[in-house]
Structure 1
């Protein structure tokens, strides 16, 4: 049984860990705490190399990692100045293992750690032989990627149609901001003011996984649903009802 949940801030993002913790306290019977950025707390001598080894270097190659000196130095700088990081996808399971090994004697399943990350994480798809970006990788610790919220779930079809049309006419990819302004539809964008609200369900899903052993919910109208498209994220996280009947009885 989960007795303690510790959330870790991601100060370079729009996610408010304190607000998520307050929401969580009303729904679970556990001590919910908030700490500063986990990557900053654990930034020891070997963490940069572990992150470099977890880099996805090819979307169709299961093998990861580039531990050349320059890449490790980049990871060192990104740990000390996270606003300089970006443009990299990491193997979420490898990052999870690296952080678990460095938790300060708190690896037990009665104390769940949930770092809100400013990094993009992914998992390998055995069914199609490629990497997929993820919002969350459940387990201990449970990783919740803030940029993953914007990048992992697919956007409405009109977004990709407009992107393709613009490229055909100009030969260049349109700026993301232009597409986001032109396309009607429900999807979240970088630094979206709805970020904190949308992440609440993913954090609760992390608690539910340790409590029940079940990863996410099958009901599209439930906050514990892991939507693969942006309109589905909006439906599950930002629209009523908040939970399916089973999870409403548990957390509603």
Structure 2
């Protein structure tokens, strides 16, 4: 049983950890608290190297990591100045292990869930298709939630990719993301979307459900515990009524 949930802020993102905590307190029987950024609280001299080892080097290569001095220096700057970082995918499970090892010893039990909101893009390796996949969350202890992953991991509407291809055929290069977002009709989230916090509520609840029951996801596409793989499905699960299927409404509604 999860008795405590600690959220960690991601100040460079649109996610409001305090608002998420308020939402959770109305739905879970646990003590929910908020702390400042995880990497500010628990960074040590070796954390930059841990991030360097977790770097995805090629979307189709399982091996990760580049510990050249310049890369480690970049990771040091990214820890100290997260607003200057970006464009890198990290092995979410490696990052999870690295952050878990830096939790205080007396806070590692499974009845105290830690949820760092991160400004990093996380991925997991797919054995079925031999490639990396961006993820919104990596469940377990700690449960990692990638805020940029919310915009990048779930596939966008088909019209988005059609417009991308059309522009490339006409101009010979890919259009800026902002251009596509303004031209394409459809339901999808964008960077700094005002709906970010509301959507993340459901993903944090998935982390709690996983630690409490061993199962995080719901088959009902209208439920906040549904593991949506496309942006329109994320909108449907996280922002549309009803918030939960009948089973999970009894627990969280």
TM over 0.5, shorter chain: yes
1:249 aligns with 2:242: no
Matches of 2:239 and 2:73, distance apart in 1: 40
* 1:197-233 per-position Cα deviation (integer Å, ceiling 9, x unaligned): 0100000010000110003111110001111000000
Tell me the residue number matched to 2:194: 193
Q: How far off its partner does 1:43 sit? A: 1.3
Matches of 1:183 and 1:97, distance apart in 2: 39
User: Please, which runs of 5 or more residues in structure 1 have no aligned partner?
Assistant: none
Matches of 2:76 and 2:219, distance apart in 1: 40
1:232 is paired with a residue of what secondary structure? helix
Q: TM-score, normalised by structure 1?
A: 0.99
User: Which stretches of structure 1, 4 residues or more, deviate above 6 A after TM superposition?
Assistant: none
2:102 is paired with a residue of what secondary structure? coil
1:91 aligns with 2:91: yes
Superposed counterparts of 1:71-86, under 5 Å: 71-86=71-86
Tell me the residue number matched to 1:133: 134
Matches of 1:245 and 1:92, distance apart in 2: 32
Kindly tell me the number of residue pairs found equivalent between the two proteins. 252
Q: TM-score, normalised by structure 2?
A: 0.99
Matches of 1:27 and 1:102, distance apart in 2: 29
Give the CA RMSD over aligned residues: 0.6
Tell me the residue number matched to 1:61: 61
Superposed counterparts of 1:1-252, under 5 Å: 1-105=1-105, 106-252=107-253
1:250 is paired with a residue of what secondary structure? helix
